[in-house]
Structure 1
Amino acid sequence: MASCPRCEASIDDEARYCAQCGAPQTEDAAQELDEYVQRQAEQVAGSGGGGSDGGGPDGFADMADLSDREQLWRRGCYVVGYGTVVVALTLVPAVGAFPLILAGIAILPPIRRLTAEPLGSSLKREVMVGLYAVFALIGVALLFLL
């Protein structure tokens, strides 16, 4: 019986990998492991991160693929959306809080991706801002009128 040069565990003479630590025991096994790791790294790098504004394999770009202006737009949408939701949650007993919550959710960038599947394509930015404006105006109106 041979021993693993990495962990010194006893292994069979014909073993390609150590049963204890998984280290390759032959040059062929080491090359096979390197190729496998390389394929896995390419798959992970190729799958992107799941952005939401057009360009990736599912029709949406990764944040790194977006221009500075698009990144600023998306970050602004997150700030406005989450800010509106937080403010609305502080007003929850009031009737106007619920349209404000919907407004905050409507402008979040992931909502564009979620609406793309049932509608066939993502809604335009202008549509999302329009939905935000409509819900926000209804919410503010209800807060002041009731």
Structure 2
Amino acid sequence: MKPCPRCEASIDDSARFCSQCGAPQNEEAAEELDQYVQRQAKQVAGGAGSGGGGNGGRDGVTAADVFGVAAEELTEREQLWRRGSYVLGYATVVVALTQITNPGAWFLLLGGIAILPPTRRLLGLPVGGTFKREAMAGLYAVFVVLGVVLFFAL
């Protein structure tokens, strides 16, 4: 029996991993663990849809389809648009929820949800792409104008 270098638990001399903390006990086990972690990271990032047969893509929809490309792949202008959409969308949703008893708040809520980037991609999946940012911004503007008009009219 030897102690685990990580947690000091007694483990068998031939053990590849510690039974208490899971730490690898030799270089081969460490490399195996590293490869496993890399495969899991690819599956989470949506890379499993192109091979391996993992559960990354049901009906051909991967995580990249739903959440879009990674932030590193976007231009600075696209990142700014995405951040602005999130801020504007969530701020509109919060305002709508604070005034939910007013009928105009329902249009504000719809507008806030429409401008969020995941909504744009999810609504575009059935037609094979994403809706244009300008189309979603126009939809947001229509809902907000209707909401504000109803908010003050009623």
Letter in 1 for 2:37: Q
| Kept after mapping to 2: 8 A contact 1:4/1:18 | no
Identity of aligned residues (%): 49
| 1:127 is the counterpart of 2:132 | no
> 2:30 maps to which residue?
33
> 1:109 maps to which residue?
117
Secondary structure of the equivalent of 2:31? helix
CA deviation after TM superposition for structure 1 residue 112, in Å: 1.6
Pair 16,116 (structure 1): closer, same or farther in 2 beyond 3 Å: same
CA deviation after TM superposition for structure 1 residue 5, in Å: 6.0
Letter in 1 for 2:65: D
Matches of 2:89 and 2:101, distance apart in 1: 20
Letter in 1 for 2:87: V
Secondary structure of the equivalent of 2:103? coil
Q: Which runs of 4+ in 1 moved over 6 A?
A: none
Matches of 1:37 and 1:132, distance apart in 2: 45
The alignment covers a number of residue pairs equal to: 135
Structure 1: unaligned runs, 5 residues or longer = 50-55
CA deviation after TM superposition for structure 1 residue 32, in Å: 3.7
Structure 1 residues 98-123: Cα deviation after superposition (integer angstroms, max 9, x where no partner): 00110011001111222133332111
| 1:3 is the counterpart of 2:2 | yes
Pair 88,19 (structure 1): closer, same or farther in 2 beyond 3 Å: closer
| Kept after mapping to 2: 8 A contact 1:3/1:10 | yes
> 1:78 maps to which residue?
86
Secondary structure of the equivalent of 1:141? helix
- TM-score, length basis structure 2: 0.70
Structure 1 residues 48-63: aligned runs within 5 Å: 48=45, 57-58=64-65, 60-63=68-71
Tell me the C-alpha RMSD between the 2 structures. 2.8
> 2:76 maps to which residue?
68
Letter in 1 for 2:32: E
CA deviation after TM superposition for structure 1 residue 93, in Å: 1.6
**Higher CA-based Rg:** 1
Pair 24,131 (structure 1): closer, same or farther in 2 beyond 3 Å: closer
Structure 1 residues 61-109: Cα deviation after superposition (integer angstroms, max 9, x where no partner): 1112211111110111111111111222222221111001100110011
